[in-house]
Amino acid sequence: MEILEVGPEEYAELVAAPYHVFASAAFNSLNADKCDEVFYLLFRDGKYRLGLIGGRRNNTFLSPFSAPFNGFSFISPRIRMLYLEGAIRALRQWAGEKGINRISLTLPPSIYEPSFISKQLNCLWRENFNIAQIDLNYAFDLESFDEGYMDNIWHNARKNLRISINSGLEFKVCESDREKKLAYDIIGKNRESRGFPLRMTWQQVSDTIRIIPADFFVVEDASGTSIASAIVFHLTQDIVQVVYWGDLNEYGKLKTMNFLSFRLFEHYSKLGLKYVDIGPSTEDSVPNFGLAEFKESIGCTIDTKYTLTCTLD
């Protein structure tokens, strides 16, 4: 298997439709300043078979270097495991020649492309990659959103949702830039009250949504005050990911997050999507028990997200 370093334009021509947006050349080019160098790699054995984008940081090759997940991308979905094996071996040799001494790949949760992700996991394991992290990712299967939703969630979540509905809350889609900035600011206040800042500035969010389709939402109380919000990225045609959401602490008694999650599921169910990915409730494999229980209580299913690493001789 031959490996080629190309520029982002050529990569985008050959890997024209990666199976999630974090694997696109445009997204990685936007975030190129978050690593020392970005590599756009193509794998060929007579025909182009696979692509991989990663960044170099402190002699480690990272894919992703600025996203929740990435890993290999297929050019044709009917990718043989033999091609993946050859690509992994070529990657190890290429990295060694570059003076890279470690490779780290974080794969998507299986909802994004179960067969291909399983093939990657198997091939990486057999090619001497070790499992460095097993994070738990939570997503809501929109096929399960129907008139029986409230009966199927946990008792406490059902009670909280009824409180929120009876509080006269209203769910709104943000249209203007001012409304979208308001949604971001609410989340910023939520993070500040919890003692940690947002990882993305408003400018970075604005730049990213020029590449990734995104939706912004706010929840208003009965007086019309905006008290909770969400920012959601479209990662595939069928899957959206809640990148940020949160409420203002002083309105927690209204159970705004139960209301917000319910309305998000309702909104995307009506659009015919498959999943709302709410993201992990672990960091470096260590769970946030309260966050995990909340996501499970509102009906999310749990999937594993693997990080695999290889140290080169």
- Is residue 133 in some structural domain? no
- pLDDT at position 133: 97
The pLDDT, as a whole number, for residue 225 is 97
- Per-residue model confidence (pLDDT) at position 196: 83
The answer to whether residue 124 is domain-embedded is yes
Residue-level pLDDT at 50:
98
Q: Are residues 119 and 151 in the same domain?
A: no
Q: How much is the pLDDT for 126?
A: 96
88 and 205 belong to one structural domain: no
Which residue range is the domain that position 147 belongs to?
Answer: 139-304
**134 in a structural domain:** no
pLDDT by residue for the chain (313 residues), tens only, comes to 999 999 999 999 999 999 999 999 999 999 999 999 999 999 999 999 999 999 999 999 999 999 999 999 999 888 999 999 999 999 999 999 999 999 999 999 999 999 999 999 999 999 999 999 999 999 999 999 999 999 999 999 999 999 999 999 999 999 999 999 999 999 999 999 988 888 899 999 999 999 999 999 999 999 999 999 999 999 999 999 999 999 999 998 999 999 999 999 999 999 999 999 999 999 999 999 999 999 999 999 999 999 999 999 7
Q: Is the domain of 111 the same as that of 153?
A: no
Residues 48 and 147 in one domain: no
Q: Identify whether residues 47 and 145 lie together within a single domain.
A: no
* pLDDT score at 197: 82
Evaluate whether residue 178 is within a structural domain.
yes
Domain boundary among 104, 128, 152: 128
Examine the fold and report which residue of 79, 94, 128 is the final residue of a domain before the chain moves on: 128
- Does one domain contain both 94 and 179? no
pLDDT at 195: 86
Domain of 16, CATH number, reads: 3.40.630.30
- Rounded to 5 degrees, φ, ψ at 286 are -90, 125
> Per the structure, how many domains does the chain have?
2
Last residue of a domain, one of 128, 161, 184: 128
Q: Are residues 50 and 165 in the same domain?
A: no
Note whether residue 55 is domain-resident: yes
